[in-house]
Amino acid sequence: MSAALSAPLLMLAVAAFCDARWRVIPNGLNAALALGGLAWALATLGLSGAAGAALAALAVFAGGAALFSLGVMGGGDVKLAAGLTLWLAPAQIAPFLIVTSLAGGALGLSFALWRMGGALAAGVPAKDAWSSAMRAPAPYGVAIAAGGALVLTAGA
């Protein structure tokens, strides 16, 4: 793995920590990830490759914005995924999205079960506990960071 790829990995770790701890991914962190990714794309892929990376990031942002409008993802999560896309080679984008989706599903289910267990222990009826657990948000930035780190380090 190149030393330059340590930067996005560190930023992903910080984003995951912030999202898990406070349910917020700082805008400055997302901006640094995106600007660093754009510089990385320009340096490694050239102008036309960087333009392609920017279009891919825009597509990821648009898809994330649609999920945000449905209340499925937070705004910081959308910006994190789009910014990370700038660091990826074209062949890494689909694996990143797939791994992130799988990690997000596992994260969401584990959080729902954990919350449901707590509600049941507190005497909440099972139907109400499940309904409440499924509405509570999970820190999806953790799944994005896991997917990104796995794809960035694959084959390193």
Cβ pair 82, 60 in contact under 8 A? yes
pTM to 2 decimal places: 0.93
136-141 average pLDDT score: 92
State yes or no: pLDDT of 22 exceeds 80: yes
Per-residue pLDDT band for 129 (boundaries 50, 70, 90) equals confident
Cβ pair 111, 143 in contact under 8 A? no
For 61-101, what is each residue's pLDDT tens digit? 999 999 999 999 999 999 999 999 999 999 999 999 999 99
6-28 average pLDDT score: 97
Measured from the Cβ of residue 27, the count of other Cβ atoms closer than 10 Å reads: 11
CA distance 37 to 85: 8
State yes or no: pLDDT of 4 exceeds 90: no
Cβ pair 93, 41 in contact under 8 A? no
For 99-123, b where at least 16 C-beta lie within 10 A, e where not — what string? bbeebbeebbeebbeebbeebeeee
Close Cβ partners of 84 (under 8 Å, ≥ 6 residues apart): 8, 12, 33, 37, 96, 144, 148
36-57 average pLDDT score: 96
Per-residue model confidence (pLDDT) at position 1: 64
